[in-house]
Structure 1
Amino acid sequence: MCLALPCRVVELLPGEQATVDVDGVGRQVSLALVDGVAVGDYVIVHVGYALTRLDADEALRTLALFAELGQAAVPEPPAWSA
């Protein structure tokens, strides 16, 4: 299974590279596949490559869904009876 994440571009770097942020984690990715990316844009990132730009509203909705799924994956502690 593959997963691509919406990430916000925080810095443009030489050589078609950028620093992106997702939930406070920064990563360097390649922008070689996407034209016209600017700081503040959201891009879909898979395996270190930005694949496409994404509307900010859609990116934020997607990130909220990922956060919700992450919370659902954490099991509730058992209810101990006294």
Structure 2
Amino acid sequence: MTEQPIGPILDGLGTTIDLDDGDLVASAMVIVKVVEANGDVSLAFCLSEGLSWVDQNGLMASAQQVMSQAQVGRRGDDE
């Protein structure tokens, strides 16, 4: 296994984020589905520097809550 920068990989997948002028991304946790050379599927994640385990848990719990609540508007959703 070789560590690789995640930016070019995400760019290649066409991922974007909707930010307003002046918005600042303070930290990131990226979860990816990996299809291995032998066809096995696994999950991997990467974290921005300085992201504590408390922050990781908070981001994960918040994301899960937003994704599971249809009534909660998310940026990028068609209204």
Structure holding more helix per residue? 2
- Rg (Cα) greater in structure: 1
- TM-score, normalization by structure 2: 0.34
- TM-score, normalization by structure 1: 0.33
Structure holding more strand per residue? 1
